[in-house]
A and B are shown apart, each in its own frame.
Chain A
């Protein structure tokens, strides 16, 4: 069964450093998403991406965040200058029809 894949599974970074999280969505899906889950909290929407542009973003997705689809398969989330409060699990997801499928997540620890 096709699945969303994410790399890295876990990354530790120094505060102020740039981080890029990578995702390969399911190949025939057209909508892509990033969600965030701070430890012990609910999953929160960050951004959706369709037709090579952002279709919707949350208030969390400020100027420190950006997304890109550099080629036909990868979908990336960049955090320019990480803060301690960016420590979280970041989930990539893609959608076909009405169902969103999640990757296994990238656990980001900012120290």
Chain B
């Protein structure tokens, strides 16, 4: 079974600075996806970024980028130029490619962006 670990329950960053959220996972699969989802106080689950395991290039989406280290099974999220609206819970998730492709989530990191 796959597991996802987020070792930072809470983090804070000053507005306009950069912060990195950590995620590690355990799997014997070779083909899979990794995701970061943002959950603001409204509790909606918003997709931030996605990475296919077969791709060596790290995914980027505007101010959000990942550092994907397949051998180390590490998938960190970097948020550049942090904004107050980035304040939220961030969940790392693993999805095996094929079959139902259900997601396995980490416990989340609560990020606070301070003005």
Majority secondary structure of chain A interface residues (helix, strand, loop or mixed): strand
Assembled-state Cα–Cα distance A56/B91 (Å): 22
Task: Determine if A56 and B102 form an interchain contact, defined as CB atoms under 8 angstroms apart.
Answer: yes
In the complex with contacts A42-B91, A42-B108, A100-B44 CB distance below 8 A: no
Q: From A45, which residue of chain B is reached at the shortest CB distance?
A: B102
Q: What's the interface size class on A, roughly? A: 20 to 34
A75 at the interface (CB under 8 A from B): no
B97 and A98 contact, CB distance less than 8 A: yes
List the count of A-B residue pairs having beta carbons below 8 Å apart: 61
A105 at the interface (CB under 8 A from B): yes
Q: Which of B14-22, B45-53, B60-68, B77-85 contacts A (4 or more CB under 8 A)?
A: B45-53
* Bound CA span A43–B35, Å: 13
A31 to B103, CA, bound (A): 13
CB-CB < 8 A to B52: which residues of A? 98
Q: Which of B71-90 contact A (CB under 8 A)?
A: none
Q: Smallest CB–CB gap between A111 and chain B, Å?
A: 20
B47–A56 CB distance below 8 A = no
Q: Contacts A42-B106, A98-B95 known; A48 to B100 CB distance under 8 Å?
A: yes
Q: Which residues from B are CB-within-8-Å of A93?
A: 45
CA distance A102 to B38 in the complex (A): 11
B100 in complex: contacting residue of A55, A98, A99, CB < 8 Å: A55
A/B interface sample: 10 pairs, CB < 8 A: A35-B103, A43-B103, A50-B100, A55-B100, A98-B50, A98-B52, A99-B47, A100-B95, A102-B37, A105-B44
Interface residues of A (CB under 8 A from B): 31, 33, 35, 37, 41-45, 48, 50, 55-56, 89, 91, 93, 95, 98-102, 104-105, 107
A100-B35, A101-B47 known; 5 other A-B pairs, CB under 8 Å?
Answer: A41-B107, A45-B102, A95-B101, A102-B37, A102-B44
